[in-house]
Amino acid sequence: MTHRSSLRMIVIDCQTEDLAEACRFWEAALGGTADLDADGKYARIQGQSCPAVLLQAVDHAPRVHIDIESDDQAAEVSRLETLGAKVIAQVKKWTVMEAPTGHRFCVVNPQNDGFLADAKEWS
């Protein structure tokens, strides 16, 4: 059975209660416009090419992580575990993982129309 995956997003985890403040900095730094969600927890920087940039309000220390999208999340998680990654948590519709290098990343469902054109096929 085959599945596909691709690098989808760079996520900037901002330890803040006011993501709008972080948006102002990153809009200016990246030359885009932040589209803040109604809950004030996520903001996608518009005007960026792939990978997309997302700001996320978090409780943990600030860091940057990547999102890998896959059309079969379970198969991609399994593939990455075989490479030495481990599952940290299942959150909403995504899986938080940690690489053997200690870096956190997420495996998510496809989030754009160009997924099939950009994705790598795994068997």
- Which residue in this structure is represented by tokens 């290098």? 101
**Helix (H/G/I), strand (E/B), else coil: 51:** coil
Distance CA 55, CA 20 (A): 10
Query: Could you read off the pLDDT of 31-88 as tens digits, one per residue?
Result: 889 999 999 999 999 876 667 889 999 999 999 999 999 999 999 999 999 999 999 9
Angle at 25 between CA 20 and CA 26, to 5 degrees: 90
Is 122 in contact with 79 (CB distance < 8 Å)? yes
**What CATH code is carried by the domain that includes residue 85?**
3.10.180.10
User: Which residue range(s) make up the domain with 73?
Assistant: 3-122
How many distinct structural domains can be found in the chain? 1
Query: Could you read off the pLDDT of 58-72 as tens digits, one per residue?
Result: 999 999 999 999 999
**Helix (H/G/I), strand (E/B), else coil: 73:** helix
